């Protein structure tokens, strides 16, 4: 599930559908949280999920930067809640550190 899929419902003000998609995401991508904290209210589970999403996204970006990967559009349409990159272009690898490197010019 992409971040952008969640944004659609938020932008439209469709809070019930956003909550439903959030619950689906919790069961699909973060079911271990349900096992670790059984009986906890959905609102608290969603907060736990949000914290884990933030951590996974931070690790994803840090790991890509670590290997010199330059993603031209690391945005909500190209990143998944589970901490994955979904789009393959445009991108490049920087062989050595060049502060102003930009492969798209």
Which residues are known catalytic residues?
77
Residue 28 tokens read as 């699909």
Percentages helix, strand, coil for the chain (3-state, rounded to 5) are 55, 10, 35
Instruction: Residue 33: name the closest of 16, 47, 17 by CA.
Output: 47
């Amino acid at each position: 599930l992409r971040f952008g899929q969640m944004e659609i419902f938020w932008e439209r003000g469709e809070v019930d559908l956003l909550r439903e998609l959030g619950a689906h995401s919790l069961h699909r991508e973060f079911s271990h949280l349900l096992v670790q904290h059984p009986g906890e209210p959905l609102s608290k589970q969603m907060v736990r999920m949000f914290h884990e999403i933030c951590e996974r996204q931070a690790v994803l970006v840090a790991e890509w930067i670590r290997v010199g990967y330059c993603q031209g559009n690391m945005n909500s349409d190209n990143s998944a809640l589970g901490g994955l990159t979904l789009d393959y272009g445009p991108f490049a690898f920087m062989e050595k550190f060049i502060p102003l490197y930009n492969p798209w010019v």
